[in-house]
Amino acid sequence: MTDVRQREDLPAGDASGEGTTSTRTLTTVIGVLVFAALLMILNETVLSVALPQLMQDFSVTASTAQWLTTGFMLTMAVVIPTTGFMLQRFTTRTLFLVAITLFLVGTALAVVAPTFAIMLLARIVQAAGTAVVLPLLMTTTISEVPVQHRGTVMGLNSVVISVAPAVGPTLAGIVVDALSWRWLFGIMLVLGVLVFGAGFFFVRIRSLTRNAPLDVPSIVISVFAFGGVVYGLANIGTLVSEGALTPVVSLIVGILALALFVTRQQKLAQNGSALLDLKPFTSPTFRVSVGIVVACMATMLGTVIVLPIYFQSVLGLSVLTTGLLLLPGGLVQGVISPIVGSLYDRVGPRPLLVPGALLLAGGQWSLTQIGTDTAVGLVVAMHVMFCIGMAMLMTPLMTLSLGSLPPRLYGHGSAIMNTLQQLAGAAGIAVLVAAMTIGAEKAGAPSEAGALASGMQTAFVVGGCIALVAVVLAPFVRAPGDRSTPEPVDA
């Protein structure tokens, strides 16, 4: 249905969902959204261990094959900023069905892709659906779940956001080792059809919408802004290895376009027509929470890429073994996240955030000691420490950041958070891989493995420095109900 009322007209935190959605229905809706998001985010990282097979099958180089990941990230970065508008204009059911349909179309294309170009198109279509589901899940949770239970539900959501990227390579390694990369997408297609069916029958939550205006120039500018920044960051390694200037040009264009985008959104927000309303940044809680989340995602995705290289290229382990060694950290994070959410509802954020930040940074700094003869069990323990810190941070921060906003800004706050996570992920991967390359070149070690191990140490030093941002900011996060923190100005 269409309603001219804005979201702040709804009873915030009402589990009935505007008085009509039962607790059972709400639980079912969020459950379907969680499974959809889990499937889609797993898809984001599964190709990391399958690239060698793809390169061979399509006769492409590593730099070309990497576009299957870069293109996915670019599409996410371009589409997510528009979700603030979409969440106002369309119902939850409509957005879900469109998103899962895009994902299914892209996955079906990937299963049968005869050429690399078709495979790249498949990844882009998949990413378009993924970009819609993540903000939809967060906005539905924060809009419908009562305040006293948000931490618990966000704990489940955090499993999806932070654990799936870590588990994806493990599952992919098992499938690729036993079958082939096409089976990855075949399995996803079957699971996606099941999720579509569940959503078609059960995602029936009443959503008020409004005829939000669409500013087309903002969309065009956002393509250059977010696309330029993500592409530049994702390919910054070529500046180090090949002296290529394309990433630098892309970053400059992206930053300039981003400045223009921000200026335009601030102007359009005055009459309520912004594509992405930036008012959430007027909340100190939102600003600090976003800062910590950015640091977390940068270190996590950087680690997910660098650590497998260490296992395979330095320790000489197989793809399957590498995937299994990454699994304990992902499983621990998955188990702890809901527990952290429940604790958050009881004790608030600071008792979780401060030790979580210390564990996150401690895990990164401990990894700076790895070498060619480091015990595998010790490396796994370091990674588990890092993952525990991630679990203790992500659940409270996702709940706090969006919960500090008035209902009208939930969609925009979610879009901002998810966009910055994509930018942080691209930056983390680019910076840690570049640091690894530079460190290896300067090491002068007697063997290739020794040089690469030195590069790994450099990469994790950089990761440790990024993690210190979380340590510094964690004590400044305000607890819920702290009225010393002003709410965003709704001008």
Q: Which pLDDT score, from 0 to 100, does residue 18 have?
A: 38
Greater pLDDT, 309 or 384 = 384
Output the CA–CA distances (angstroms, integers) from residue 234 to 53, 346, 420, in the order listed. Answer: 21, 40, 14
Average pLDDT, the chain: 78
List the CATH code of the domain at 13-476: 1.20.1250.20
**Separation between Cα atoms, residue 90 and residue 3, nearest integer Å:** 10
What integer is the mean pLDDT of 64-80? 77
SS3 content of the chain, % helix, strand, coil (to 5): 80, 0, 20
Output the CA–CA distances (angstroms, integers) from residue 462 to 185, 239, 302, 356, 457, in the order listed. Answer: 34, 18, 10, 19, 9
Q: Any idea what DSSP says for residue 117?
A: H
Whether residue 468 has pLDDT greater than 90: yes
| pTM for the model | 0.75
Q: Which pLDDT score, from 0 to 100, does residue 480 have?
A: 57
**Separation between Cα atoms, residue 226 and residue 108, nearest integer Å:** 28
Displacement of CA 456 from its chain's centroid (Å)? 23
**Separation between Cα atoms, residue 210 and residue 203, nearest integer Å:** 20
Query: Is residue 2 very low, low, confident or very high in pLDDT (cuts 50, 70, 90)?
Result: very low
Sequence-separated (6 or more) residues with CB below 8 Å from residue 396 = 151, 340, 344, 349, 352, 353, 356, 477
Query: Is residue 361 very low, low, confident or very high in pLDDT (cuts 50, 70, 90)?
Result: very high
Q: Which pLDDT score, from 0 to 100, does residue 22 have?
A: 62
Whether residue 84 has pLDDT greater than 60: yes
Q: Which pLDDT score, from 0 to 100, does residue 312 have?
A: 79
Taking phi first (over 0 means left), then psi (-120 to 50 degrees means alpha), and beta for anything else, what does residue 17 get?
A: left
**Separation between Cα atoms, residue 481 and residue 473, nearest integer Å:** 19
Query: Is residue 441 very low, low, confident or very high in pLDDT (cuts 50, 70, 90)?
Result: confident
**Separation between Cα atoms, residue 301 and residue 322, nearest integer Å:** 16
Query: Is residue 11 very low, low, confident or very high in pLDDT (cuts 50, 70, 90)?
Result: very low
Which two three-digit tokens encode residue 410? 């939930």
Q: Contact, 127 vs 111, CB < 8 A?
A: no
Sequence-separated (6 or more) residues with CB below 8 Å from residue 312 = 318, 319, 322
Whether residue 483 has pLDDT greater than 50: no
Task: Give the model confidence (pLDDT) of 95-122 as tens digits.
Answer: 889 999 999 999 999 999 898 899 999 9
Whether residue 44 has pLDDT greater than 70: yes
Domain boundaries, the chain: 13-476
Q: Interhelix angle for 376-403 vs 284-309, to 10°?
A: 160
Share of the chain above pLDDT 90, in %: 13
Which range is least confidently modeled, 234-243, 285-294, 302-311, 345-354?
234-243
Query: Is residue 280 very low, low, confident or very high in pLDDT (cuts 50, 70, 90)?
Result: confident
